[in-house]
Amino acid sequence: MKTDQLIENLSASVVPASPRRLTARMAAALVVGGLAGFALTAGWLGLEALPALTAKPFFWLRLALLAGLVGALLPVAETLSRPAARPILWPLAAMVGLMVALAAVQLGAADRTSWSTLVMGSSWKACPYRVAAIALCAFPSFALAMRSGAPTSPSRAGGAAGALAGASGAVLYALVCHEPGLAFVVLWYGAGIALTATAGALIGPWILRWSDHPGPRA
């Protein structure tokens, strides 16, 4: 049997995978990781202050911005899950730019004596690690979903999975955070997201490999 005929025979029964399957898996991962992270947040940090926080307009602004960040990262992670795909990054850049701009506006409108509170708050040392800890609940589900898409750049895909998990963790941490500054969110929530993105990029070659070849592959 000739090679061309063999290839044709082998591929004749192959059914193309639905492009929506990965999207559905990513959405399911977001739900599963979110529920797990919410359970951790409630059990670890408690939700007693949530009713009082929801009465403040800033709470909803912060939550909306972080949810927007998750929404901007989700298609990036999904695209990087596909072989040799190039993500569109301008929505993510626009979302980050909006957060930075609003933080600058808030600082500009505030008295300089309150800048320390708006930038450092009282929990800047703990914030990044709390965000990262909550993100650990979502990272496995995102990694599993992305692995099914056969990424050809596991390091980049792992970084995207980590960033997405970090942003999801930031949304949940925002439910219990008392800090009033957008600059605090950009810096210290951002530091937590950077931690998980870096960790994801480092372990991506091991957990997102889809071939049988041993060892990491960038």
Dihedral in degrees, nearest 10, Cα atoms 64, 70, 76, 81: -160
- Render 68-98 in DSSP notation, one character per residue: HHHHHHHHHHHHHTSTT-----HHHHHHHHH
Asked if residue 60 belongs to a domain, the reply is yes
State residue 10's pLDDT score.
44
Whether pLDDT at 165 is above 80: yes
- Render 121-168 in DSSP notation, one character per residue: TTTTTTHHHHHHHHHTTTHHHHHHHHHTT--S-HHHHHHHHHHHHHHH
pLDDT band at 213 (very low <50, low <70, confident <90, very high): very low
3-class secondary-structure state, position 41: helix
How far apart, in whole angstroms, are the C-alpha atoms of residue 209 and residue 199? 16
> 72-109 pLDDT, tens per residue?
999 999 999 998 889 999 999 999 999 999 999 999 99
Whether pLDDT at 7 is above 70: no
pLDDT band at 149 (very low <50, low <70, confident <90, very high): confident
Mean pLDDT of 8-17: 47
State residue 5's pLDDT score.
61
Asked if residue 92 belongs to a domain, the reply is yes
Asked if residue 203 belongs to a domain, the reply is yes
Asked if residue 24 belongs to a domain, the reply is yes
Whether pLDDT at 185 is above 70: yes
How far apart, in whole angstroms, are the C-alpha atoms of residue 30 and residue 41? 16
State residue 127's pLDDT score.
98
Asked if residue 217 belongs to a domain, the reply is no
State residue 99's pLDDT score.
98
**More confident of the two residues 148 and 157:** 157
Largest CA-CA distance found in the chain, in angstroms, rounded? 82
State residue 192's pLDDT score.
98
How confident is the prediction for the chain on average, in pLDDT? 90
Residue ranges making up the domain that contains 123: 20-207
Asked if residue 10 belongs to a domain, the reply is no
Asked if residue 158 belongs to a domain, the reply is yes
Asked if residue 109 belongs to a domain, the reply is yes
Look at the chain and report how many structural domains it folds into: 1
How far apart, in whole angstroms, are the C-alpha atoms of residue 193 and residue 165? 8
Model confidence pTM above 0.75: yes
3-class secondary-structure state, position 176: coil
Whether pLDDT at 133 is above 50: yes
How far apart, in whole angstroms, are the C-alpha atoms of residue 163 and residue 161? 6
- State how far the alpha carbon of 168 is from the alpha carbons of 22, 48, 102, 133, in Å: 19, 21, 20, 11
